[in-house]
Amino acid sequence: MQPALIVENLSLALGRANLVDSVGFSVAPGEVLALVGESGCGKSVTAQAIMRLLAPALRQTGGRVLLAGQDITALPERAMRALRGQAMSMIFQEPQAALDPLATVGTHIAEALRRPLRDVRDQVLQMLAEVGISDPARRIDQYPFELSGGMCQRVMIACALISRPAVLLADEPTTALDVTIQAQILDLLRRLAAERRTAVVLITHDMGVVADIADRVAVMYAGRIAETGPTAQIFARPRHPYTSLLLASIPRLTDAPKSTLAVIEGRVPTPAEFGPGCRFASRCPLADDTCRAATPPLRDMADGRLSACFHAEQLP
């Protein structure tokens, strides 16, 4: 099946700093790909580059984006505008901040269809019911301040999906929500992606969210993909030392309490500190001179996975 979205060798720069370096992935219709990493790893700017919503200071220095096989990298802004919210949509972390405080719920959703609310009221009511908003007939005329965070996130999902986009980019959609509400929203996203065959790129820092909802994972570190593959394999047997340490450093409900957690020494390098080699080398227990001298390419691990580590075979 043709992927709904393909990103190839995407590179982004801020001044001379190479923030995102040759990032690539693809997502099939109905599939959920998690783009996971810590703050500053470049996961959010990657999504912004796909939507072409980059801050003016950021430049795309290479790579292309294909939507249903069509290269949209060079599309004029006018044509991009026709795609945003139609063929591909995005939802954001802070639902209350992303909604217009002066527009009602119904106006927001109708705008995604580019029609006046009175023409599409029934369709909007149906969408509100589909995203699990109780009493849609009352909610449709309310303003964002009258809704809770979880409810606002449902409204944003309704806005994003009413035009049946092929691709949904969800940037930390549950980070600002409580766990019981997060569970509701993740269930909703999973159900809608499956029913509507939407390809979802889920950006998150939470390995629990990844384990819950993603079919495949791309782990990012300092602007590069460290490892990518099916979710079950990544968690069962990571092929990159960063993924492996990250998973070992998370306290779990099944661990021995007060045991010593694995630690990743040091901190993420700033773009000014990026050297010629592997960007994880300064914190990696397996790093040697090769790692510090050359960039490890993403190699095929022959099990559906790619790893950017010279020593992937040495991992247990």
**Of the candidate residues 13, 51, 219, 264, the single one contacting other proteins (CB under 8 A):** 264
Instruction: Map the footprint of other proteins across residues 189-218, applying CB under 8 A.
Output: 205-212
- Mark the segment that binds other proteins (CB under 8 A) among 87-95, 110-118, 252-260, 289-297: 252-260
Scanning the chain, the segments in alpha helix (DSSP H) are 43-51, 77-83, 95-98, 105-113, 117-130, 136-139, 149-161, 179-196, 207-213, 231-236, 241-248, 289-293
d(CA 27, CA 201): 7
Contacts of 226 by beta carbon, 8 Å cutoff, 6+ apart: 219, 220, 240, 242, 243, 280, 307, 308, 309
- Mark the segment that binds other proteins (CB under 8 A) among 102-110, 113-121, 163-171, 176-184: 176-184
- Mark the segment that binds other proteins (CB under 8 A) among 66-74, 100-108, 180-188, 308-316: 180-188
Beta carbons of 107 and 128 less than 8 angstroms apart? no
Contacts of 240 by beta carbon, 8 Å cutoff, 6+ apart: 219, 226, 227, 280, 307, 308, 309, 312, 315
* Residue among 63 and 223 whose Cβ is closer to other proteins: 223
* Residue among 24 and 230 whose Cβ is closer to other proteins: 230
Tokens standing for residue 309: 């580590």
d(CA 306, CA 243): 13
Dihedral of alpha carbons 74, 79, 84, 86, sign: negative
Q: Using the rule CB under 8 A, is 255 a contact of other proteins?
A: yes
Binding mask 118-157 for other proteins (x = CB under 8 A): ------------------------------x-xx------
| Number of residues near other proteins (by CB under 8 A) | 46
- Mark the segment that binds other proteins (CB under 8 A) among 42-50, 83-91, 241-249, 271-279: 241-249
Q: Which residue has the tokens 């980019």?
A: 169
* Residue among 41 and 112 whose Cβ is closer to other proteins: 41
Q: Using the rule CB under 8 A, is 83 a contact of other proteins?
A: no
Binding footprint of other proteins on the chain (CB under 8 A): 38-39, 148, 150-151, 178-184, 186-187, 205-212, 231-232, 235-236, 245-247, 249-255, 257-264, 267-268
